[in-house]
Amino acid sequence: MSNESFIREVNEEIRQEKAKALWGNYGPYLILAAVILVLGTGIYQIYDHWQSSKAGRIGDTLLISFDLSDERNFDEALTKLDDVEKSGFGDYPFLAALRKAAIFMKQGDATKAVAEFDKVAGNKNAPEILQKVAKIRAAYILVDNGSFEDVEKRVKDLATDVDSTRIMAREALGLSAYKAGKMDDARYYFQKIVDEGMDGFKATERSRLMLELMQSSGAIAKE
């Protein structure tokens, strides 16, 4: 046997001894890690499937409530929406609350509708866009069913020059100010909308009409 062959055999035996020692010391832990990995993957797949199934069930319940509402089966629709809210799953409870508010408006109950919108608007866990939608919807209701201060409380922070919902917020504020006899405030908000230059936008046309109405009636001076 050559020296080179002998050295290879010795090295191989050393590697085998090291492998046996390593397995003897850490083999049980390696098996446990492998079992945990397999179990973890299986549990994740089961959980993911369960989550998907749950989302599907809740989504179906929400859609059923829409159909019931369209058929004016309001009590049944509200029961379905209560179930969606109680699920606490994802953003569905917030969508359910917005839908409940719409049903209350169909029933002519502005107080309950505003309360539902306020509930979403004040929930920091709700997506920001849903909070803003809720604020604006409540504000439009309060144009006819509340005070200028009620409207201002909900959407004044949205009437800035940078907020994406500013046009709707300003229109609600302008209409409420006009109704309250606050003509300077009404002119301010309607003029801000017109100054955006969004021709073809309905709120822009309505704001121009309101400014013309106030000028022709003498409520504000013609420019």
> Which sequence spans correspond to the domains of the chain?
8-146, 148-222
Residue 203: φ, ψ to 5°: -65, -35
Q: Can you tell me the distance from the alpha carbon of 73 to that of 120, in angstroms, rounded to the nearest whole number?
A: 24
pLDDT of residue 3 exceeding 50, the answer is no
Q: Can you tell me the distance from the alpha carbon of 218 to that of 210, in angstroms, rounded to the nearest whole number?
A: 12
pLDDT tens by residue, 63-76:
787 788 788 888 89
pLDDT band at 14 (very low <50, low <70, confident <90, very high): very low
Residue 1: per-residue pLDDT: 47
Residue 166: per-residue pLDDT: 93
Most confidently modeled range among 23-32, 44-53, 84-93, 152-161: 152-161
Residues of the chain above pLDDT 70, percent: 74
The residue ranking higher by pLDDT, 168 or 200, is 168
How many residues does the structure list for the chain? Answer: 223
Predicted TM-score of the model (pTM): 0.72
Count the helices and strands in the chain (H runs, E runs).
Answer: 9, 0
pLDDT band at 182 (very low <50, low <70, confident <90, very high): very high
> Could you tell me which CATH class the domain 8-146 is placed in?
mainly alpha
- Residue (of 180, 193, 110) closest to 149 by Cα position: 180
